[in-house]
Structure 1
């Protein structure tokens, strides 16, 4: 049999299509976030049954619910795993109810940093080595490095991968701690070093990743920001009348239409979790960036879009 890559949610969706039934519907019943012990509860309804799922992220909770639904449908002889096999769901969650196949997420990054501080050895450095897979089932691989020791871990969330790598690092350090302490000077005995070439290159790469194509004409001064949209309007022969309806609508689709009319586009990136902070960037000559924050990505993005309209409405009317 060919290697199967279908998640529980994908299999449940395919099953309803095969049976000519309505697609599965997911509803969140509980949400606890912004802590080290996040928990999301979902209920899924499909093929006349409902099942519940729990996880440390919405994605995990939905897959858990779908997997429990498939188990129910199998007992009712509606679902045959041999016809539509499901991939093994291995990811761990921070919350593990009794009987759950998931394990509790380790919380090891803080203790690892404390261990390094107490023994006067370098702080841990976490580096994302890979980010692969489809959006609904990504795999993240993180490297944890302390001095000459390196550990690597892979999981379905960045947080989990870092935690597992930190846990393995603590185990390794305990085995070689005397030698490690001997080979590295005490922190208070060393001078603060300038950033290495490697760390500088990483910082530049991160900047280019976040702000690619933000500034088209780097000779334009920030003080000329107020005129950049008027310049685009003149170039594309547009007047304020061409934007009135979209300015009133104030949706992300309206924002895209406004910018498209004057040859611009926007990108958005999550720059912080819990609470979520999103940066929205318009690729105008002068940097045009708005920030939104909220309990969810949707709420934060909505604020960033709203702030963008406040600025656009002002400068398009100059």
Structure 2
């Protein structure tokens, strides 16, 4: 078993027919951050060691004495002891600095604002976690981490509530700096300022309640959840109405290879997509041999992209329409 500095010093002094004399000169003071100090005397030489416990302080004093003896006798410096003194009481962690809020700075409920921002922009809900709690009972310092999607920010304060507010404030600043287009709750304040009642709005704009939520920036949406993003923008009644209208287009076009009819179908689809705030782009793709290829894209999240194949452009358009509409229906179900 490897020897500690106390054991090595003891054996060295026994060979010289003496023993080390240890004296506790500071007992820690009784505070929550105790520090003990030992003084050891050997053959007229003195060394001092400090530690968070008496045992640690005694080991440090013995180590300092071994260095003093080696220097006094002109010996080479002793190598470090392979057996380090066990630290039973670890040193207290560094207390982070708490940001002081100026007295003239108005209070902003950053937690609530961040929550509204995430809802308005289709972001994952904020998650808060207490990651650090240091300091004495009368002066605790808390560190709370805020997580939104893959972003993480921390807040430090004297209370958990204030640390949570600070973390939310840091996250708000990061998100608004990264994506300036994010919507805030101020968009809804315009309606409140005009004092328009809900009944008047419904009377003047009967189709307003039928429209889906405007397209949002899908920041941080998991790829595994893409297929439900479009579906979640509508209630059951709206989705069923859209599915029925789309199904009518596909069923009536199965046996209709007519240029005029295909053009009318494209126009119907574009009008229907416009009512739900979507666009459709049709592109001619370089043909393969004697076949015609047509690409059709609908800007959902992610985009629906289908390729139509036919002997003529009309047939290719019809094939692209059928595939695109069927895919859109699957996303709405």
Provide the TM-score with structure 1 as the length reference.
0.28
Normalised by the length of structure 2, the TM-score is: 0.27
